Structure 1
Amino acid sequence: MGPVRYRILGTTQAIRDDGTAVPVGGARLRALLTVLALRPGRTVPAAVLVDEVWGAEPPADAPGALQALIGRLRRALGSGAIASADGGYRLTAAPDDIDLFRFERLTGDGARAHADGNAAKAADLLDDALALWHGPALADLPDRTAEAARWDARQLDARRTRLAARLALGLADTVLPELTALCDAHPLDEPLQALRLRALRDAGRPAEALAAYDHVRRDLVDRLGADPGP
């Protein structure tokens, strides 16, 4: 089998170079691939794999069950995809073979381009980064709450920066629907709210911007007991 790329920003998938998916059936198998893909090229101790794949209910013969699962994953991906070393296993992939790490690289590049005043480059990079998401992060990880929350926050940061870049490009009317939806979902996110006010102003709707500001101010006072920041 040729090179494989992995998706974990959504349901866990393995994708060949030609775009076809490698069948990775079964919740446990996808969970195992997710745990390994979170640490590409690094050996993950067997005990960590058992803990993250089975959680509080490991099988009676956990080492044997893990070996059986590794065998199934090797048959699906190719024998060289999973290496054994030092009491554990590693996915023989580079970080850029994993969508999560490509997302991290692209968002970092996009944020730097935005900070440098290159809004067009920032918007393009962040479009590419956000296009990598195909559902909730780490959807097949059994205990995903804490780790997924971190990546969900990174996605929101990327969306916020992309919207700021598009606003800098004079696309206020275009960004308003997404901004409005995000502000409704995150009413206490002041940077998002500030972007929406700027977009309303730039779209020639200053009365709506002032009314929206008053609503945000009252909402923050009611919920947090504090006025908005400068």
Structure 2
Amino acid sequence: MRYAILGSAQAFRDDGTPVAVGGARLRALLTALALRPGRAVPARLLVDEVWDGAPPADAVGALQALVGRLRRALGHSAVLSADGGYRLAAEREDVDLYRFERLARAGGEARDPAEAAALYEEALALWRGPALADLPDPAAEAARWDAVRMEARRGRLTAALALGEAERA
């Protein structure tokens, strides 16, 4: 599975087929888990992020029901119970946010402007909207990723200038 959280949360099977992840809270849960792929996320933290400080009366039960819906959508092996919380069975490279980070870093390290431009283009193409758009209050975390995005844009413009593409830049 691949996960996209640079814009509204989406999931894709390995063959590229999209998986329907409907409902704002379900997408918020997917986003919260995809931010920490392969790591156990405590239930209380998930409740805070999904319900933004205004959890339902039975927050644990509501979270369990939401996890059940996400498992039905993604497959039961995609979301695992772990250490008082849940874990998305994924690697960092399965999440567009971390692919973006890797590509942008590689673009910054590339010595050849053409290679840098290609890496930055690939990284920036992953963005489909605001980072973490489905979290009720993504402010601090999203701001950090927006800053990385702006740095990648600057890097892409610098590479374009080095390639003599001033007009295009």
- Place the TM-score, normalised by the shorter chain, in its bin: over 0.9
Q: Does 1:145 align with 2:139?
A: yes
1:17 CA drift (Å): 2.4
Q: How does 1:127-166 map to 2 (within 5 A)?
A: 127-166=121-160
Q: Partner of 2:55 in structure 1?
A: 58
Match of 1:172 among 134, 159, 166: 166
Letter in 2 for 1:45: P
1:16 aligns with: 13
* TM superposition shift of 1:18: 2.5
TM-score, normalised with respect to structure 1: 0.72
Does 2:39 match 1:42?
yes
Moved over 3 A (4+): none
Runs of 5+ in structure 2 lacking a partner? none
Match 1:90 to one of 51, 65, 87: 87
Q: Does residue 1:74 correspond to 2:64, yes or no?
A: no
Q: Does 1:124 align with 2:108?
A: no
The CA deviation at 1:145 is 1.0
Letter in 1 for 2:146: D
What is the aligned-residue identity percentage? 69
Q: Which whole-Å CA distance do the structure 2 matches of 1:56 and 1:129 have between them?
A: 33
Cα distance in 2 for partners of 1:56, 1:171 equals 48
Three-state SS of the structure 2 residue aligned to 1:170 is: coil
Query: Cα deviation per residue 1:23-72 (whole Å; 9 max; x = unaligned)?
Result: 00100000000000000000000000001111221010010000000000
Cα distance in 2, alignment partners of residues 158 and 96 from structure 1: 18
SS in 2 for 1:84: strand
User: Within 2, Cα distance between the matches of 1:85 and 1:98?
Assistant: 20
Aligned match of 1:29 in 26, 31, 51?
A: 26
The aligned amino acid for 1:111 is G
- Work out the number of aligned pairs and report it: 169
- How large is the Cα RMSD of the aligned pairs? 0.7
Give unmatched runs, 5+ long, in structure 1: 176-230
Q: Distance in 2 between matches of 1:99 and 1:33?
A: 13
Code of the aligned partner of 2:136:
P
